[in-house]
Amino acid sequence: MRRVSVVSTAAAVMALAWFGHLQAQGQVGQIQVGGSPVVPDAEVNSRPIPRLPDGTIDITGPWVGGGSNGNIERDGGLKPGEMPLLPWAKELMSKRQERDEPYTACLPMSVPRVNPYPWKFALSYTSRGLSHIYVLHETGDAGAHRVVYMDGRPHPADPIPTWWGHSTGKFEKDTLVIDTVGYNDKFWFDSRGTPHTEQLHTVERWTRINYGRITNDFLLDDPGAFSRPVNLKFTGRLLRPDLKTGGGDLMEFICLESNEYGSAAGFVPGQGTNIK
């Protein structure tokens, strides 16, 4: 028999207890658990930015943050009301309710949304060099993962709309630039219900500005829902390395119907579990 410890914060346990209360009341909503241990402020600038053997800056992570879960307008650096939504989009957003949030039904958050759980860039190489980057989230969202093609291929002429769209990437000096089209219109930009259409086109510019932080300069262009393109900026924090292994790992998180947190792995949040 093997003892497995599950690390959780008091805030996480309280939040999950509140979520259980919401379920009992017939309500559905999001919870922000937080608690991911990040690199201390004292190390953010004092340590050098690591690089890969070929000299490329190491943006692997794992990170926390770099997008907006609660309010894309506020968290992206805009003032209230500055998000240039078209009238129909404003009306739709005003009618959306938290219980209708797609993510509470285990559907992907997509771009540029990020949750309280860690994520990382996983680089895949062939004999010709870097071919793909996979963006992996601790909340697997029904097993989905995002693929960024780094082999120079163009976007399809008529892409099939998907949750993550079709992403191509390249490095411009020390910045990873990801260009994405082909999104569906099913996900919300934030828990407030900010909408978009299948005309959405995004450009992310990921730059590791120091040892402990990475920025996402984000261009949002959707003429179907916005009167003009929008420039937003988000910052992610590096997870604190594990003291024993020297690295940070993503934990398993499986989203189940009714969001029964921990059921898939057989543990109770904040406690351990016995696995035979």
CA 198 to chain centre: 20
**pLDDT (0 to 100) of residue 198:** 98
**pLDDT (0 to 100) of residue 247:** 55
Record the tokens describing residue 197, joined without a space.
Answer: 């259409």
Alpha carbon distance 239, 247 (integer Å): 9
Residue 154: what residue type?
A: P
**pLDDT (0 to 100) of residue 61:** 92
Q: pLDDT band for position 147 (50/70/90)?
A: very high
**Mean model confidence pLDDT for the chain:** 82
Q: pLDDT band for position 274 (50/70/90)?
A: very low
Among 38-52, 110-124, 259-273, where is mean pLDDT lowest?
Answer: 259-273
Q: Which of 41, 73, 32, 1 has its CA nearest to residue 210? A: 41
Question: Hey, how many other C-beta atoms are within 10 angstroms of the C-beta on 200?
Answer: 25
Mean pLDDT score, 2-29:
41
Q: What percent of the chain has pLDDT over 70?
A: 75
Q: 146-149 and 166-172: which strand pairing? A: parallel
Which whole-number Å values give the CA distances from 187 to 12, 80, 105, 137, 155, in the listed order?
A: 25, 22, 11, 16, 21
Alpha carbon distance 53, 256 (integer Å): 40
Phi, psi of 208, rounded to the nearest 5 degrees:
-80, 105
Alpha carbon distance 109, 191 (integer Å): 10
Q: What percent of the chain has pLDDT over 90?
A: 57
Q: Does the pLDDT at position 199 exceed 60?
A: yes
Answer yes or no: are the C-beta atoms of 142 and 155 closer than 8 Å.
no
Q: What DSSP string runs through 61-76?
A: --EEESS-SS-HHHHT
What's the pTM value of the predicted model, to 2 decimals?
0.83
Q: Does the pLDDT at position 32 exceed 80?
A: no
Tell me which of 106 and 143 has the higher pLDDT.
106
Count Cα atoms within 13 angstroms, Cβ side, for 181: 9
Q: Does the pLDDT at position 29 exceed 60?
A: no
Record the tokens describing residue 214, joined without a space.
Answer: 């990475």
Q: Does the pLDDT at position 268 exceed 80?
A: no
Max Cα-Cα span within the chain = 60
Mean pLDDT score, 63-71:
93
Among 90-104, 128-142, 172-186, 214-228, where is mean pLDDT lowest?
Answer: 128-142
Handedness of CA 142, 65, 207, 39 (dihedral sign): negative
69-109 per-position pLDDT tens digit = 999 999 999 999 999 999 999 999 999 998 888 888 888 88
In the block, which residue shows the tokens 């009238």?
87
Handedness of CA 84, 89, 95, 96 (dihedral sign): negative
